[in-house]
Amino acid sequence: MEEPMTELETYIRQFSSLNRAPGRVWTESTKNRAPHKPILLLAVLDLMARGVITSPFIAVTVDLVELNELFNLYWRRIIPLGQTSSISFPFSRLHNEPFWELVPLPGQKITPASINNIASVSQLRTVALGARMDEDLFHYLQEPASRNALREALLRSCFSEEGRAALEEQATINAEAYSYSLELEQKAHLPLVQETLEADAYKPAVRDQGFRRIVVTTYDHRCALCGVRIITPEGHTVVDAAHIIPWSRSKNDDIRNGMALCKLCHWAFDEGMMGISDNYNVITSRQIAANPNVPGFLLTLTSRSIIGPADRDLWPARHYLAEHRREWRL
Minimum gap (Å) between residue 265 Cβ and Zn ion: 3
Contacts of 123 (CB under 8 A, 6+ apart): 88, 117
Torsion of CA 146, 148, 152, 153, to 10 degrees: 30
Taking residue 240's Cβ as centre, other Cβ atoms within 10 Å add up to 19
Considering the complex, state which of residue 159 and residue 219 has its C-beta at the smaller distance from Zn ion.
Answer: 219
263 close to 270: Cβ distance less than 8 angstroms: no
Contact characters 35-64, Zn ion, x per CB under 5 A = ------------------------------
Contact characters 250-269, Zn ion, x per CB under 5 A = ------------x--x----
Considering the complex, state which of residue 141 and residue 265 has its C-beta at the smaller distance from Zn ion.
Answer: 265
Considering the complex, state which of residue 128 and residue 225 has its C-beta at the smaller distance from Zn ion.
Answer: 225
245 near Zn ion, rule: CB under 5 A: no
Contact characters 206-225, Zn ion, x per CB under 5 A = -----------------x-x
Minimum gap (Å) between residue 210 Cβ and Zn ion: 23
User: Residue 198: what residue type?
Assistant: E
CB-count exposure of residue 45 (10 Å: 0-12, 13-18, 19+) = buried
How many chain residues interact with Zn ion (CB under 5 A)?
5
Considering the complex, state which of residue 52 and residue 228 has its C-beta at the smaller distance from Zn ion.
Answer: 228
Considering the complex, state which of residue 42 and residue 225 has its C-beta at the smaller distance from Zn ion.
Answer: 225
Of residues 4 through 23, those in contact with Zn ion by CB under 5 A are none
Closest to 57 in 3D by CA, of 131, 141, 164: 131
Minimum gap (Å) between residue 240 Cβ and Zn ion: 10
317 close to 257: Cβ distance less than 8 angstroms: yes
Taking residue 14's Cβ as centre, other Cβ atoms within 10 Å add up to 18
Minimum gap (Å) between residue 222 Cβ and Zn ion: 9
Identified binder of Zn ion from the candidate list 58, 226, 245, 330, rule CB under 5 A: 226
Minimum gap (Å) between residue 262 Cβ and Zn ion: 3
Question: How far is CA 195 from each of CA 27, 181, 247, 250, 254, rounded to the nearest angstrom?
Answer: 44, 17, 10, 7, 9
Considering the complex, state which of residue 10 and residue 281 has its C-beta at the smaller distance from Zn ion.
Answer: 281
Question: How far is CA 201 from each of CA 137, 192, 196, 242, rounded to the nearest angstrom?
Answer: 36, 19, 10, 21
Of residues 269 through 298, those in contact with Zn ion by CB under 5 A are none
Considering the complex, state which of residue 129 and residue 274 has its C-beta at the smaller distance from Zn ion.
Answer: 274
316 close to 325: Cβ distance less than 8 angstroms: no
- Interface ranges with Zn ion (CB under 5 A): 223, 225-226, 262, 265
